[in-house]
Amino acid sequence: MKIKNYDSQIAQQTKQKALDRLKSQTHQNKVNDSSSGSSETTKASFSERAKDMAKAQSLATQAEDIREAKIAELKRRIANNEYNVKPDAVADRMVEEHLQTRHLG
């Protein structure tokens, strides 16, 4: 599976969750309005985060897959035992990314 496809699937799932929450919220607002006797219509809007996610998905699906050359080079280096991974650097990066993204999900 290409990274692009995986990212697109995550963006689609996130978008679908936002839409489901919005539908649920809109339904609840309609129930509340009808029980209070109000005849006002409910106006729904997407949060800024949902808008950003939709924009990111759009940009990701339009972007060319430019990592093919990099992946081919890494495969070549791995096959020739020229690619050395520093476990400490990988672990540090994983912890750093977790700390930066833990609030997202």
Q: How far apart are CA 6 and CA 25, in angstroms?
A: 29
Helix (H, G, I), strand (E, B) or coil at 64: coil
Burial call 84-94: b when 16+ CB within 10 Å, e when fewer: eeeeeeeeeee
Q: Residue ranges of the domains in the chain?
A: 1-65, 67-105
Most confident of 37-41, 94-98, 99-103: 94-98
pTM confidence score: 0.30
Angle at 55 between CA 22 and CA 9, to 5 degrees: 75
Higher pLDDT, 65 or 77: 77
pLDDT, residue 45, reads: 76
pLDDT, residue 60, reads: 80
Query: pLDDT for 36-71, tens place per residue?
Result: 555 566 777 778 888 888 888 888 888 776 788 888
pLDDT, residue 35, reads: 56
What does each C-alpha distance from 35 to 23, 25, 28, 31, 53 come to in angstroms?
18, 15, 11, 6, 34
